[in-house]
Amino acid sequence: MDYGIAFPSYIDAWREAAAAEAAGFTHAWFFDSQLIYSDVYATMALAAEHTSRIKLGTLVSIPSNRLSAVTASAIATINYLAPGRVILGLGTGYTGRNTMGLPAVTVKDFREHTQQVRGLLQGEEVLIREGDRERWIRLLHPDRGDFINIEDHIPIYLAANGPRALAATGELADGWVTGALTPNLAEGFEAIRVASASAGRSTDRPYTVGLTSGCVLRDGESLTSPRVVERVGPNALPGLHAMWESHYGPGANLGITDPDAAAAFHRYIVEYGDARGSQPDRRYLDVHTGHMVFLKPGEEQFISEASIGATLTGNPAQIIERLEEMEAAGIDNVAIACTNAAGARDLIADFGSEVIAKRSTT
């Protein structure tokens, strides 16, 4: 199994990326959410300059944030800095869309963006559209050695859960991004296999990245100890944010529903927003403040043993056992999200010494 750390893209994450490389992590992943974090590609550029072995990938870049040509140029620039160490993860968008009061992009647009970026990274001419205009474009100077690197292959991984996005993964992608602890991995693999076969591609199981968060418990700690909640809570809560979106917000195409949980959170967020003078038509800004970074005052009431337990949190033996189960189920790369630099340092030190080192010697 490969081990990844997933960073909220703070610009100095290169320091922790270098530490993760030294601790045995194989991958550093970077979130793309323009209203929450630093720019993902600027953050990756610095990480590329300060590391030498660890692979660097977006988790995941969102089509509507950039033209396909901009995405291709950006990731090919990182590949110039870190030849052969770069992965482009693409997704339809959650935080990067919902923070702007928008739903995820359509699978049609997602597929088209993926096709265009893939073609550009293969040195091909691709057709783009702007309104009623259609134009053929290509990366004009890939061989000058000054700008980009598309000679070293850049794998494209797609984040997908629904049937049409899974079909796009089978037809277009080099790898699959999903939840590390999702119960329907087998169904996803089968959907991808069928789509791959229809497209005349290899039907081997795709390289699969499982995203989760987690914390190695220290002596005397429980799932709801303050340090654990601080480290994992912000990444355990976005599911509730998604439920709120499905029932009350503009990002209602996520398919994650729970009326009772959404109503409880809505009552909280109305009080939270009213106390700050927020306008009711902008509640989504209140909901996503702190999203996957910190807990707003009062949000800790929604964190439970069950929500923390759904992450990769436990003592070293428990985590190792769950990793073995995930590996047996088909996860090739566990990507563990942190929330800030301090949390990243904790995760790197504890996971590196108590999990990676121990698994590598067994």
Domains and CATH numbers, the chain: 2-217+313-360 (3.20.20.30)
The amino acid at residue 55 is: K
Q: How far is CA 280 from the centre of its chain?
A: 30
Q: Is the dihedral of CA 182, 187, 193, 194 positive or negative?
A: negative
E strand or H helix at 82, and its extent? none
CA distances from 234 to 97, 156, 282, 331 (A): 18, 28, 21, 24
Of 206, 187, 202, 179, the residue nearest 91 (C-alpha): 179
d(CA 152, CA 177): 22
pTM of the model: 0.95
Question: With contact defined as beta carbons under 8 Å apart, do 41 and 107 qualify?
Answer: no
**209 DSSP β-pair partners:** 177, 333
- Specify the pLDDT at position 82: 99
Check whether the bond before 60 is cis (ω within 30° of 0).
yes
Q: Using the structure block, give the residue that is written with the tokens 């079909």.
A: 167
- Specify the pLDDT at position 334: 98
CA distances from 241 to 226, 290, 343 (A): 21, 11, 22
Of 140, 164, 185, 186, the residue nearest 255 (C-alpha): 164
d(CA 232, CA 338): 7
Structure token digits, residue 192: 């991808």
Count of helices and strands (H, E) across the chain: 15, 11
- Specify the pLDDT at position 145: 87
- Specify the pLDDT at position 134: 97
Mind listing the pLDDT tens digit of every residue in the chain (362 residues)? 999 999 999 999 999 999 999 999 999 999 999 999 999 999 999 999 999 999 999 999 999 999 999 999 999 999 999 999 999 999 999 889 999 999 999 999 999 999 999 999 999 999 999 999 999 999 999 999 899 999 999 999 999 999 999 999 999 999 999 998 888 899 999 999 999 999 999 999 999 999 999 999 999 999 999 999 999 999 999 889 999 998 998 876 666 778 899 999 999 999 999 999 999 999 999 999 999 999 999 999 999 999 999 999 999 999 999 999 999 999 999 999 999 999 999 999 999 999 999 998 76
- Specify the pLDDT at position 254: 64
d(CA 196, CA 269): 43
Kindly tell me the burial class for residue 310, based on how many C-beta atoms sit within 10 Å of its own C-beta (0-12, 13-18, 19 or more).
middle
- Specify the pLDDT at position 252: 65
- Specify the pLDDT at position 258: 84
